[in-house]
Every structure is written in C-alpha cells, then in structure tokens.
C-alpha cells in the first residue's frame, strides 16, 4: 500500500486546562502531569462529517487526484452525525466522491488502524484502486462534562489518507479484540429511544449515553498490549524493533506512550506526540499525527513506520507500513 496524500482538520475553538477548571474541580497541573494534555479542539456545531470532509479535501489535494477517482470511503468513528445515513456516505456527498462505496467502522481508538487494514484488503484483492481512509470524531458530544475523570481527556478532530496499491511498499498488520472487557470503556452515545417503549427513568438512562471509563484498567491494558502487538507486527514484517524509524501511537496519554517506548527499549524521540494540543481524538489521532509530521517535513527521511492503536471494545492493533 502506498499513501498518496493526507490531510487533517480540527475545529477552531480551543479549550485549555484552565478553561476546564472553571467547570469541574481540576487544574492544569493535574491534567498536564497525569496526561500530557494542555488543550483540545472542541466543535461548536460541526459534525463528524464536516470535520472529515475538510480533512479529506486536503488529502485529495495533497494526493493530486480528484474526488471522482476515489472508489471507496472508509470512515472510522464512534461519534457519527447520525445512525443513518452512515457518516462515510455523508462525507461522499460533501466532497463529491460520486464513484465511491462508503461505510463506517467503529472500533473506538483502534478504528483508523482497522479501517486502514480493511483498505489494504480491498486493494490487495483488486476490488478497489484508490481508497479514502478517514478517522473523525466529535467526542465532545459523547463526553460527560460533569465528570472530571474523563472530560479532560478528549477532543474533536479528523485525519484522512488517500491510499492505493503498491507492491513495492510492504504492509503488515496484527489486531485483536476482547469483548469480555467491553465494560471498561462504554458510552451509548446516541440518545435514540424506541418511541413505543418510553421510559420514565430518563435521568438514570441519560448518564449511560456518555463515555464512562475505568481509566486505570485502560492504562494497564494499553501499556501491556501495545508493546506486545508492536513486537508481533515487527516480527511479522521480518524486521527488528531497531529497524523502525518512527512509532505513531494513538494519542491518549503521554505516560502510556513513554511506558511503551521504555518496554520496547526504544528512545522517546521515535514516538512523536501531539496530544498536548489535541487531547485524545480517538480514531482521528493517528491520521492527524501522521499528517502533521508529513506536512512539517518530518517524514521526509522516514521509511519504516509502525502505527498502533488501542481503545474501547477492547480493541488493539499495530500496522507496519513503508513510506
Ligand atoms: N483533576 C483532578 N483530579 C482528578 C481528575 C482531574 N481531572 N480526575 C481524577 N482525579 C482524581 C481522582 O478522583 C483521584 O482522587 P482520589 O485519589 O482522591 O480518589 C485521583 O485524581 C487519582 O485518580 P486516578 O484515576 O487514580 O488517576 P490516574 O493516575 O490513573 O490517571 C487517567 C487517570 C489519566 C485517566 C489514567 O488512568 C489514564 O490515562 N488512563 C488511560 C485512559 C485512556 O487512555 N483512555 C482512552 C482509551 S481510548 C478510547 O477508546 C476512547
């Protein structure tokens, strides 16, 4: 697989840690030291498809193709505009990709990686030639703004890549899920109700619409599973960890990233971080990071890259790509 182009977009409103300390009992020092997050972008009305469309237009221009050249749109999100139509189809309409087959993938923060793996399968099979892969989230909709243990962590944004088949660029992936641990990170998110079975206990139910998380369990899971699957994918690619130029991890917490680097015995500088600016943007974090690095020239001398994501489900994965 070859990455022809990339793009990203984040809403203009920036919320600082000090801003959050005005709505919940928290402070910049706690958030910065426990997570590394300083600011996050929050949508004031833009939907996931709006963010995705803006990132996609940038990726299309970067790739030097036209929207009609795209034959598939895969959109990873857990915060779509609506249950129907799927968010990828809404993006199709917004960018004019009239020849694309469109569907969404929900695997929380591993979503972009799973979408990229899906794109690779379609390319390898010859079913598609040019695929737009997007990670887009409006997590602010799914956030309980009265819960200080989660509301400081998340942000909104979108990242996109245009990919095509290329035998000269190796692609290798490992992934997994553990549904038995699904309760560690939950959120019904969309307050859809069966009108025929309307409950009076709305208050109780509404609490479940928003994300709830056992942070320590997620932390323990991430720092064990991520190094494990990175080692697996590197071995599968016939490489050693030292051969990898950069590791682009899901941007959830700088302590998770440092711990993974330490466990792999790799220097921190090979694990770029931008979560200080964006917070955890779930499925969008890896493509946003990729695009920022690419546009700033930091990928110019980079060839072998490992992407790794983890999140609700539980889900995890690592993918080896060559640029
Ligand atoms: N400000 C101030 N104090 C806080 C805050 C806050 N925002 N949040 C929690 N606290 C308090 C707690 O109440 C607790 O107080 P207590 O000791 O009096 O009970 C204390 O801080 C410590 O809380 P912990 O939960 O033990 O803090 P911890 O060091 O574990 O950090 C954190 C919490 C940052 C959430 C961490 O566990 C973490 O990053 N986990 C991974 C989360 C993650 O990556 N989630 C995303 C997964 S991806 C996806 O699918 C969406």
> pLDDT tens digits, residue range 139-189?
998 888 889 999 999 999 999 999 999 999 999 999 999 999 999 999 876
Q: Is residue 202 part of a domain?
A: no
Q: 191 pLDDT band (50/70/90 cuts)? A: low
Q: Are residues 150 and 224 in the same domain?
A: no
Residue 144 pLDDT: 87
CATH label of the domain that carries residue 294: 3.40.47.10
Q: Is residue 141 part of a domain?
A: yes
Q: Provide, for the chain, the percentages of residues in helix, strand and coil under a 3-state DSSP scheme, each rounded to the nearest 5.
A: 45, 25, 35
Residue 142 pLDDT: 87
Please give the number of the atom of ligand 1 that sits closest to the Cα of 108. 50
Q: Are residues 59 and 156 in the same domain?
A: yes
Q: Which long-range contacts (CB under 8 A, 24 or more apart) does 79-83 make?
A: 79/48, 79/137, 79/138, 79/139, 79/141, 79/142, 79/189, 79/282, 80/48, 80/49, 80/104, 81/47, 81/48, 81/49, 82/190, 83/190, 83/192
DSSP state of 68: G
Residue 188 pLDDT: 76
Which amino acid residue places its CA nearest to atom 1 of ligand 1? 26
Catalytic residue (choose from 109, 151, 172, 229): 109
Please give the number of the atom of ligand 1 that sits closest to the Cα of 149. 8
Q: Does residue 202 surpass a pLDDT of 70? A: no
Q: Are residues 28 and 156 in the same domain?
A: yes
Q: Are residues 57 and 178 in the same domain?
A: no
Count up the domains in the chain and report the number. 2
Q: Is position 86 annotated as part of the catalytic site?
A: no
Q: State which of 137, 168, 199 marks the end of a domain.
A: 168
Q: Are residues 42 and 116 in the same domain?
A: yes
Q: Does residue 197 surpass a pLDDT of 60? A: no
Residue 206 pLDDT: 60
Q: Are residues 155 and 278 in the same domain?
A: no
Residue 207 pLDDT: 62
Q: Does residue 195 surpass a pLDDT of 70? A: no
Q: Are residues 31 and 64 in the same domain?
A: yes
The average confidence (pLDDT) of the chain is: 94
Q: Are residues 150 and 162 in the same domain?
A: yes
The string of pLDDT tens digits covering residues 283-320 is: 999 999 999 999 999 999 999 999 999 999 999 999 99
Q: Are residues 10 and 89 in the same domain?
A: yes
Q: Does ligand 1 come within 6 angstroms of the Cβ of 312?
A: yes
Residue 190 pLDDT: 59
Residue 189 pLDDT: 60
Q: What are the residues facing 175 on neighbouring strands?
A: 317
Residue 210 pLDDT: 84
Q: Are residues 35 and 181 in the same domain?
A: no
Q: 107 pLDDT band (50/70/90 cuts)? A: very high
Region 100-129 average pLDDT: 98
Residue 22 pLDDT: 96
Residue 314 pLDDT: 97
Q: Is position 250 annotated as part of the catalytic site?
A: yes
Q: Are residues 142 and 180 in the same domain?
A: no
Q: What are the residues facing 146 on neighbouring strands?
A: none
Residue 185 pLDDT: 92
**Cα 122 to ligand 1 centre (Å):** 39
List the domain range (segments joined by +) for residue 131.
2-168
Q: Does ligand 1 come within 6 angstroms of the Cβ of 30?
A: yes
Q: What is the pTM of this model?
A: 0.95
Q: Are residues 70 and 179 in the same domain?
A: no
């Amino acid at each position: 697989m070859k990455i022809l182009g990339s793009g990203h977009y984040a809403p203009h409103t920036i919320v600082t840690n000090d801003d959050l300390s005005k709505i919940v009992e928290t402070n910049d020092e706690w958030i910065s030291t426990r997570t590394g997050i300083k600011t996050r972008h929050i949508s004031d009305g833009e939907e996931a498809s709006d963010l995705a469309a803006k990132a996609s237009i940038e990726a299309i221009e970067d790739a030097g193709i036209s929207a009609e050249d795209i034959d598939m749109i895969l959109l990873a999100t857990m915060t779509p505009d609506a249950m129907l139509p799927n968010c990828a189809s809404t993006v199709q309409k917004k960018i004019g990709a009239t020849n694309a087959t469109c569907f969404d993938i929900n695997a929380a923060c591993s979503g972009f990686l799973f979408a990229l793996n899906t794109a690779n399968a379609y390319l390898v099979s010859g079913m598609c030639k040019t695929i737009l892969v997007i990670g887009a989230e409006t997590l602010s909709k799914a956030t309980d703004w009265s819960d200080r243990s989660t509301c400081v962590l998340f942000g909104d944004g979108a990242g996109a890549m245009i990919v095509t088949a290329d035998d000269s660029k190796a692609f290798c992936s490992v992934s997994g899920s553990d549904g038995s641990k699904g309760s560690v990170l939950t959120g019904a998110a969309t307050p859809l109700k069966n009108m025929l079975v309307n409950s009076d206990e709305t208050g109780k139910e509404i609490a479940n619409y928003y994300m709830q998380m056992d942070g320590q369990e997620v932390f323990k899971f991430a720092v064990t599973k991520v190094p494990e699957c990175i080692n697996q994918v590197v071995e599968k690619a016939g490489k050693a960890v030292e051969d990898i130029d950069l590791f682009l991890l899901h941007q959830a917490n700088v302590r998770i990233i440092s711990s993974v680097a330490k466990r792999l015995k790799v220097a921190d500088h090979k694990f770029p971080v931008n979560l200080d600016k964006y917070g955890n943007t779930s499925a969008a974090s890896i493509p946003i990071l990729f695009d920022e690095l690419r546009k700033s020239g930091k990928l110019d001398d980079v060839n072998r890259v490992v992407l790794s994501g983890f999140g609700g489900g539980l889900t995890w994965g690592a993918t080896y790509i060559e640029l």
